[in-house]
A and B are shown apart, each in its own frame.
With several copies, the nearest count.
Chain A
Amino acid sequence: MSISVQSDDFDLGAEVAALADGNGDIGAVVTFVGLVRDTTGGALLSMELEHYPGMTEQALAEIELAATKRWSLSASRVIHRYGNLKTGEQIMMVATASPHRKDAFEAAEFLMDYLKTDAPFWKKEHFKDSTKWVDSKADDDAAKDRWS
């Protein structure tokens, strides 16, 4: 179990290698990577990620702990960036490692669903002469509710 909230980019391959290293019981690693998406077809200058230092780490740790209690996980990793990111840049990742693929898949989806609704991050899109806070989605609440 490990969490990082950072402005720096991350290396997905290295993170997965570190997760699995030395544990011969891991048969499956599932990762999710969130990327800055330009829904306007080219007008996005950057995506600003704001968060609530202190609460962020605490919220992510609780979500990770809940996943660990529910599925057979050998290891997990959450990294979320903040600051100004460009289109295509990596925003965040989760990785789950398990003996079995079903656990790894479900735990990764669970982590993502809870992270979306419970971790205090906010996205602001910067355009040439305007800015827009990204709206939260009703879908995200529904996705989270399926686990309860």
Chain B
Amino acid sequence: MQLDVLYFAWVRERIGIAKEQVSTDARTVADLVKELSAREERYQVAFQDMTVVKVAVDQVLVSLETPLGRAKEVAFFPPMTGG
């Protein structure tokens, strides 16, 4: 499966890029996080405490256990601070 993976705010800064294409067989968001973290240290640093990382699949907030299904876009970011 081909995914667009997006990073925002300090997640983006730690990983060093805003967007990348990822080929993966990850079943859930948690699987994808594990896979990326195993890849390079910068991912491991960004994802070390997933209680402060939020996830959106196809622009909808989801939990780590959410299956990726036919997702096209996954985004990781800190809790929001707008307003």
Contacts and interface: CB of A to CB of B under 8 A. Distances in A.
Q: Which of under 10, 10 to 19, 20 to 34, or 35 or more describes the interface residues of A?
A: 20 to 34
Contacts of B81: 116, 121-123, 133-136
Q: Which of under 10, 10 to 19, 20 to 34, or 35 or more describes the interface residues of B?
A: 10 to 19
A48 to B, nearest CB: 10
Contact of B6 (A52, A92, A134): A52
Interface in B36-83: 56, 59-61, 75, 77-83
B59 A58 contact: yes
Given A52-B56, A55-B59, A122-B9, A136 B83 contact: no
Interface of A: 34, 49-52, 54-55, 58-59, 80, 91-92, 101, 112, 115-124, 133-136
B82 A119 contact: yes
B78 to A, nearest CB: 6
Contacts of A122: 8-9, 77-78, 80-82
20 contacts: A50-B9, A52-B8, A52-B75, A55-B59, A55-B75, A58-B60, A59-B61, A91-B83, A116-B80, A116-B83, A117-B79, A117-B80, A118-B61, A118-B80, A120-B56, A120-B82, A122-B77, A122-B80, A123-B82, A136-B78
Interface string B4-21: 001011100000000000
Contact of B80 (A58, A91, A112, A119): A119
A133 B61 contact: no
